Amino acid sequence: MNRWLCFPLLTVLTAAAAPAAAQTPSPVSITGTGKVDYFTALPGEFSPFGGEGTFSFMGVDMPYTLTSADVGGLNFIDPGPPAVATFSNSIPVTFASTDPSEPSEISMNYTGEVTLTPTDMTGTQFTAVFIADFTPIAGSGVGLFADVVGGTFEMTAVVSDPFVPIVDPTQTVFTLNSPYQWNSSGGALDVFLVTPEPAAAAMAWVLGLIAAGRPRATRC
């Protein structure tokens, strides 16, 4: 192979490989509380919920509020008791900073499983434990999250106050504004992937130019 092919090829490979190789995992930790408007067990139905707490990332403990979020789409995989179902979101869950000096936010999707435990003999009231994997939506990050391109973390939400879910479209009695607590698992896999700093990307580009400008030779 001629060297005039080697160096341009090296430039292309360097430019293509550098961003992927430079993606860095950074730990994520979240705690918080909130309320679910209501719980629905109807297929394809979702309920809004709100929350606030602390989002720890890149050495910053950011106070947050949820500006959009919902939960639902239950698909029962074990009738129980306790009953187990998969669940997900229909709109992005957006964490937004409440600190005016740190205007940051990021949106995510999630999927998971919920365990519903009856608390009375009639089986109409339940407590719940939701466990879900959250995945950031690339390009949605602002401020602190601007360089996030991937990753995942596990969240556990606990609803310890008994509630009555909606199980029938004609149902008129159900629980409103159920409180919950949630937190990330804190495991080694709870990370966001971030892209290289602009300086690192610029350095890769310069090295490629230097390689492309080296003297040609007849053989590699």
Is position 13 within any domain? no
pLDDT at site 215 = 54
| CATH assignment at residue 103 | 2.40.160
pLDDT at 132 over 80: yes
pLDDT at site 122 = 85
The number of distinct structural domains making up the chain is: 1
pLDDT at site 188 = 85
pLDDT at site 187 = 82
CB 171 within 8 A of CB 143: no
Is position 18 within any domain? no
Is position 98 within any domain? yes
End-to-end CA distance of the chain: 6
Q: Which DSSP string do the residues of 182-220 spell out, in sequence order?
A: EEE---TT-EEEEPPPHHHHHHHHHHHHHHHTSPP-S--
| Mean pLDDT computed over 117-126 | 91
Is position 82 within any domain? yes
Is position 14 within any domain? no
Is position 67 within any domain? yes
pTM score, whole prediction: 0.79
Is position 5 within any domain? no
* pLDDT tens, position by position, 55-85: 999 999 999 999 999 999 999 999 989 999 9
pLDDT at 15 over 50: no
pLDDT at 129 over 90: yes
Domain that holds residue 183: 25-212
CB 82 within 8 A of CB 117: yes
User: For the CA atoms of 183, 188, 191, 196, what is the dihedral angle to 10 degrees?
Assistant: 150
Is position 220 within any domain? no
pLDDT band at 140 (very low <50, low <70, confident <90, very high): very high
| Mean pLDDT computed over 156-181 | 96
